[in-house]
Structure 1
Amino acid sequence: MRDSASAPETAWAPAGGLADRLFETAERTPALPLLARRPGPDGADWEVRTAAEVRDEVLGLAKGLIAAGIAPGERVAIMARTRYEWTVFGYALWTVGAEAVPIHPASSRDQVAWMLRDAHCAAVLVEDERCVMTVGPVCASLPALRHVWQLDAGACAELTALGADVAAATVDSMRRIVLPEATAVVAYTSGTTGRPLGCALSHGALAAACDVLLDGWGGTAAPPGEQGAVLAFLPFSHVYGLMVQGLCVRGGLLMAHEPELTEAALASALRTFRPTCFYAVPSVLERIYKNFLRSAERAGRGALFERAAATARDFAEAQERRRLGTGPGPGLDLRMRHARYERSVYRRLRAALGGRVRRAASGGSPLSRELSLFFEGIGIHVHDGYGLTETAGGVTMQPLGREKSGTVGKALPGTEIRVAGDGEILVRGPSLFQGYVGAADATRAVLRDGWLATGDLGRLDDEGYVTVTGRKEDVIVTSGGTSVAPAALEQRLRTHPLVHQAVVVGDGRPCAGALITLDPESVTHWRAGLAPPDGDAGAREAHEENALREEIARAVAAANRAVSRAESIRVFSILPEPFDVARGLLTPSLDPRRAEIARVCAPEIDAMYAARSPRPGRTRPAGPTAGEDWEESDNVFVSRRRTR
């Protein structure tokens, strides 16, 4: 096992700001399709904007920003979903040397006030009236805030009209003096354990992360001779979404915007836009898999899908062994079974994603090996990578032709990775952030001699592949002293078709427990397949609830097989509502805010531990040894909370 790894240096040298590439592309290939959007939420047609048209819109907005008094170095917040205007407005800010402060539109009033105040924003662009209602009440407490613009009230047209008399040469001169080391974005961390911190990311850092990926992996975005097409739906308030935007603009890929994250909207956008490359987070890929399974079961083909999925994983695993030099590859029988399912199953699954996707990327959190193998087996190779807000995006990626599922790949060219003695991942490279805004002590705490202490735990294998095992801050210590890393347990729980979300708890408790939310559609389908018992409606409901608890208990038992007995989940509670961003329980990248979940769900957590009784004839001891009785039991106990 290695404790450090680095990739070869690149010849990449930063020059200018992020907006330069857009203007250069428009000059070189003005007719290149660059951005796409739908006129309505359900439309099948996409309006395509060429590089020249996007450049002209950016230029008009940049003039308006100058006329509005936005100066180089001033910060302007963008509080909107992933939509066309976000990209155009963001590039207008970078054109005049201003700094963008992305804010998720579902952020609470307190969160918005904190970020606007902490970043000393001069203006904020909000999406709609709901966002205005969030920002409006805090404006009086923000003396630096001079403008509030609303997209749905025509802000872009108003700014363009305002700047009609500003000369294009003025904009051009301002763009040309933006240096790579100038700050482009102040991206706030997820704030999972406290106040979010604003990461200052330079133009050069954001460009470096994108250009290294384009140099090594850009050719996989589409078949040779075709322009790559990417559906952007991840929030631009998160650095992963910003990286996808940068990859498309810098790489000349056609990018479509889908602001709605509902399953129906995403499925419609995939079918009609037909991307060639798919960027997602593991939770989205998990949902896609479960939708495949649910659709098959509704059509009476559930068993066929299960066999096809198992064959896909076996086939991909055999291919992996061949490319890593540890096996001969798929045998004749496996190849024949795979070919049969290709005709009857796999091509239909790819068609549900538009039919053109052959490569995908996953980030935000580690992707399970089983899910990665499944997608590779059906013909969509998922490149799992790793990065943070503080690294302006990715620092690892799967090497082409040497992909290893279950890892996040190797260090990108020019990047170095170490694993400290306590298992923490350390990173050094050209995409590191400049520091936390107004938080010098916090910056010094994570930047040490040029190395970033990521707060993530992981390991490096002998070939330099990185495996992320969790966050240091997420490790749970039970009252008996057992340390539990929740990520592996949560990941395995989410693979069950009925489980939507899972958060492991248990700090200071006798054992690990889990808060679980269910997938409503899967539960409805599952209930329909139950054999109805004799008796009245009350008896049927009790039968369904008992059967549901037993099914989730089996999911918990399956997850426990990934850990030691002392680390296993001994209690769980099924919650009636999912965790979401709007209630502050998830980050914009859909990671759980554990401290907030523990606070909001404290009654449920107390109840599920209280429901566990000592074994008959034995009194549970107090103090540090209290967990012993819990760990000796072979049962998994469910709290009494109703599930509907």
Structure 2
Amino acid sequence: MRPATRIRTGDDWAVQTYSQFGAKILQVAQGLLDAGVEAGSRVGIFLNNSPEWSEIDFGALTARAVPVPLYATSTTEQIEHIGRDSGLTVMFVGGRSEAERVLAAELPDLRRVVVVHPYEGMPDDVVSYTDFMAEPDLAAIDARLAEADGDDLASIIYTSGTTGNPKGVMIQHKALIAQADALDEFFDLTPEDHSLCFLPLSHALERAWTVVVLTHGCMNTYVANARTVAEQMVLAQPTMMVSVPKLYETVYTTAHSKAAGSPVKRKIFAWALKVGRHNQYAHRAGRTPSLWLRSQLKLADKLVLKAVRDAMGGPKTVLACGGAPLRVEIEEFFGSVGMPVMQGYGLTEASPLVSFNAPTDFKEGTVGKVLAGGELRIAELGEILYKGPNVMLGYWNNEEATRDTIVDGWLHTGDVGYIDTDGFLTITDRLKDIIVTLGGKNVAPQPIEGLILADPLFEHAVLLGDNRPFVTLLVKPSLTHVEALAKAGQWQGELQDWLKSSELLDELKKRVEEITAKLPTQERPKDTKVVDEEFTMDNGLLTPTLKVRRREVEARFKALVDEMYERLDKLKHKDR
């Protein structure tokens, strides 16, 4: 019996065969039919990664309902927006925490809350997952599926915009199929392969990849807590993995830290990477490495390279990266140890795949070639435009935003880049201000900055964190309010002293923490620093319309920003 899903429970694996998985899917579908869920009705999935997540996902699709994933970190306010906007009728939740947040939201269309992990004292209108599932009426399910079409919605995924509330991206079945077909041209996935699912399934990348894994008969190993991924990689030994840069950066940093123990270790480490790199160069050029290189590789592998591969859970047939740019030195490092990382590029509005590198067709420093059947165009200001079979149908309940984003069939990505003469795409910048952390989390800075600026003590607030592990904050305080604080607190010195004082910094941090306390973790600044320079049009920090030039601010205060992240990184390692 072929294994479909696996998850770690204690010191053992809970494995489910495809036969068992398929039976659960039908039971979920029947439960939805019995609950009166009609074709096209929206169903929420609000739990951490688990086999149940996929059972619910495929069960909803079997009932021709539309799954709407929510991040497990979502606040009641975010749940309320998504639930009301999409008109959720049924919500599947993980346990007590998720259930209480859902029940606290005002969701007029919600008829049923289903809890995967029941808890004591559940309200009467909450039902357990096992009680919700029903014996399938195959005739009824077949009748529902008879009218299924590739144009049906496979999901509505809410993604942050630069301003306002998240927008619901409508993804069709035919888009997911087109992506799977495109990958099949370059990757040979077999039922013997198995993948590690640790990115949130509410993220378009992991969701689409899981569809590929399960529709190819591979096993999917679920990681409920992403913090355990290092341990789970070694235990699971996956042959396939899709990740964001944060994982690769962590392995890279850890390996270099271990080698930094002595000059001898550093020398051996550098030599081994050089040997591995030159062997890779030969293979990529279509040549067999020289006998001398091959003999050196055996020793380099024994001393250094194999240990890195072991830390990643052994050899990989697919090792991919998306969600944010991967630094070139990290990409070269993994190539040197014999684990080339296939970088790709996409966005939720493209379901999410736009381009990708493949084992037989790749170039370091790029995000690969466009998806088969797709087209790329570079527009004004270098913006990347994409047209293809997997472009979203549009934004749910938002025709204006759809018209602004898809023009004459071309998806305006908001990213800047160029296509080289070989057809490989390189991303150079972002037109949008959306912050994409190393963990692949999208954070819209303007609403958060707006909350902070509602406090008059803050004159300017700039949230940072693009391609960083988390977000931090630079603030320019209001001088008049600083003076008032200083007088009330009887601070020593004068204005320039107060701006550099620990008293002011402590007050600013306290207020930021209070203001952002209800936001999801990835949206709360991990540190705050004071900028005492004025923001003006003359010094380039403000536009003519008095908007902050985010990139100019980050560049101007680069030393201050780097110091923040370095200090936090040291504290993190010290706590270990």
Sort the TM-score into its range (normalised by shorter chain): 0.7 to 0.9
Structure 2 CA distance, aligned partners of 1:633 and 1:156?
A: 53
Structure 2 CA distance, aligned partners of 1:49 and 1:350?
A: 28
Query: Are the aligned partners of 1:292 and 1:349 in contact in 2 as well (CA < 8 Å)?
Result: yes
State the match for 1:126 in structure 2. 93
Higher relative contact order (CA 8 A, sep 6+): 1
1:276 aligned to 228, 233, 239, which one?
A: 239
2:392 corresponds to 1:433: yes
User: Given the two structures, how large is their TM-score scaled by the length of structure 2?
Assistant: 0.76
2:216 corresponds to 1:251: yes
2:187 aligned to 201, 212, 218, which one?
A: 218
Structure 1 CA distance, aligned partners of 2:402 and 2:109?
A: 24
Structure 1 counterpart of 2:88, which letter? C
Structure 2 CA distance, aligned partners of 1:60 and 1:622?
A: 62
Structure 1 CA distance, aligned partners of 2:308 and 2:555?
A: 44
CA-atom RMSD in angstroms: 4.1
> Does the residue aligned with 1:345 lie in a helix, a strand or coil?
helix
Structure 1 CA distance, aligned partners of 2:137 and 2:58?
A: 18
Q: How does 1:135-214 map to 2 (within 5 A)?
A: 135-138=102-105, 141-153=106-118, 155-160=128-133, 163-164=134-135, 167-191=137-161, 193-213=163-183
User: Percent identity over the alignment?
Assistant: 28
Would the alpha carbon gap of residues 359 and 631 (structure 1) be closer, same or farther in structure 2, given more than 3 Å must change? Answer: closer
2:285 corresponds to 1:312: no
State the match for 1:87 in structure 2. 54
State the match for 2:254 in structure 1. 291
Q: How does 1:267-416 map to 2 (within 5 A)?
A: 267-297=230-260, 300=261, 304=265, 307-309=268-270, 311-312=272-273, 315-316=276-277, 319-320=280-281, 323=284, 336-416=295-375
Would the alpha carbon gap of residues 413 and 516 (structure 1) be closer, same or farther in structure 2, given more than 3 Å must change? Answer: closer
2:201 corresponds to 1:233: no
Q: Displacement of 1:193 after TM fit?
A: 3.9
Q: Displacement of 1:412 after TM fit?
A: 1.6
Structure 1 CA distance, aligned partners of 2:373 and 2:221?
A: 30
Deviations for 1:40-96, whole angstroms, at most 9, x for unmatched residues? 3xx2x3222221111111111211111111111100110111111000011110001
Deviations for 1:326-372, whole angstroms, at most 9, x for unmatched residues? xx786776555443221111112211222233530001012112111
1:72 aligned to 29, 39, 47, which one?
A: 39
> Does the residue aligned with 1:319 lie in a helix, a strand or coil?
helix
State the match for 1:97 in structure 2. 64
Structure 1 counterpart of 2:130, which letter? A
> Does the residue aligned with 1:279 lie in a helix, a strand or coil?
strand
Q: Displacement of 1:303 after TM fit?
A: 5.4
Structure 2 CA distance, aligned partners of 1:582 and 1:81?
A: 22
> Does the residue aligned with 1:199 lie in a helix, a strand or coil?
strand
Structure 1 counterpart of 2:178, which letter? A
2:16 aligned to 46, 49, 54, which one?
A: 49
* Unmatched 5+ stretches in structure 1: 1-30, 476-485, 495-500, 521-574, 588-592, 613-619
Query: Are the aligned partners of 1:311 and 1:334 in contact in 2 as well (CA < 8 Å)?
Result: no
Would the alpha carbon gap of residues 637 and 376 (structure 1) be closer, same or farther in structure 2, given more than 3 Å must change? Answer: closer
> Does the residue aligned with 1:454 lie in a helix, a strand or coil?
strand
Structure 1 CA distance, aligned partners of 2:223 and 2:561?
A: 39
Query: Are the aligned partners of 1:415 and 1:428 in contact in 2 as well (CA < 8 Å)?
Result: yes
Structure 2 CA distance, aligned partners of 1:518 and 1:286?
A: 10
Would the alpha carbon gap of residues 408 and 634 (structure 1) be closer, same or farther in structure 2, given more than 3 Å must change? Answer: closer
Would the alpha carbon gap of residues 421 and 48 (structure 1) be closer, same or farther in structure 2, given more than 3 Å must change? Answer: same
Structure 1 counterpart of 2:150, which letter? P
Q: Displacement of 1:422 after TM fit?
A: 1.1
Query: Are the aligned partners of 1:124 and 1:149 in contact in 2 as well (CA < 8 Å)?
Result: yes
Query: Are the aligned partners of 2:40 and 2:66 in contact in 1 as well (CA < 8 Å)?
Result: yes
Q: Displacement of 1:234 after TM fit?
A: 0.8
Q: Displacement of 1:304 after TM fit?
A: 2.5
Structure 2 counterpart of 1:624, which letter? D
* Unmatched 5+ stretches in structure 2: 119-126, 450-458, 471-508, 542-552, 572-576
Structure 1 counterpart of 2:284, which letter? R
Would the alpha carbon gap of residues 324 and 115 (structure 1) be closer, same or farther in structure 2, given more than 3 Å must change? Answer: farther
Structure 2 counterpart of 1:409, which letter? G
Structure 2 counterpart of 1:179, which letter? D
